[in-house]
Structure 1
Amino acid sequence: MIKFLLNGILRDKSRSVLPVIIVSIGVMLTVLLSGYMAGVFGDVVTQSAKFDTGHVKIMSKAYAENIDQLPNDLALLGINEVIAPLQEAYPDMDWVKRIKFGGLLDVLDEEGESKGQGPVTGMSFEIYSGNDSELKRMNFEDALVEGSIPAAKNEALLGVKFADQLGLKLGDEMTFIGSTMNGSMAFTVFKLVGTVRFGTAVMDEGAMIIDVADAQHLLDMENGTSEILGYLDNDVYDEEATLEISKVFNARYADSKDEFAPIMIPLKKQGELEELITLADSMSALLIAIFIFAMSIVLWNTGLLAGLRRYKEFGIRLSLGETKGHIYKTFIGEAILIGIIGSIIGTIIGLIGIYYLQEVGIDISSMMDQIDAGFMMPSVMRGKVTPNLFYIGFIPGLFAMVLGNMLSGMGIYKRQTASLMKELEV
Structure 2
Amino acid sequence: MSTSTKLPLFEPLDPAGIGDLLTADERAVRDTVRQLCAERIAPYVADWFESGAIDDVRGLAKELGTLGVLGMHLEGYGCAGMSATEYGLACLELEATDSGIRSLVSVQGSLAMFAIWRWGSKDQKNEWLPRMAAGDAIGCFGLTEPDIGSDPGNMRSRARRDGSDWVLDARKMWITNGTVADVAVVWAMTDEGVRGFVVPTDTPGFSAPEIKHKMSLRASVTSELVLDGVRLPESAVLPEVIGLKGPLSCLNEARYGIVWGAMGAARSSIEAALSYANERVQFGKPISAFQLTQQKLVDMNLEYTKGVLLALHLGRRKDAGTLLPEQVSLGKLNNVREALDICRTARTILGANGISLEYPVIRHMNNLESVLTYEGTVEMHTLVVGQAMTGHEAFR
TM-score (norm 2): 0.25
Specify which structure has the higher proportion of strand.
1
**Greater Rg over alpha carbons, structure:** 1
TM-score (norm 1): 0.24
The answer to which structure, 1 or 2, has the higher relative contact order (CA under 8 A, 6+ apart) is 1
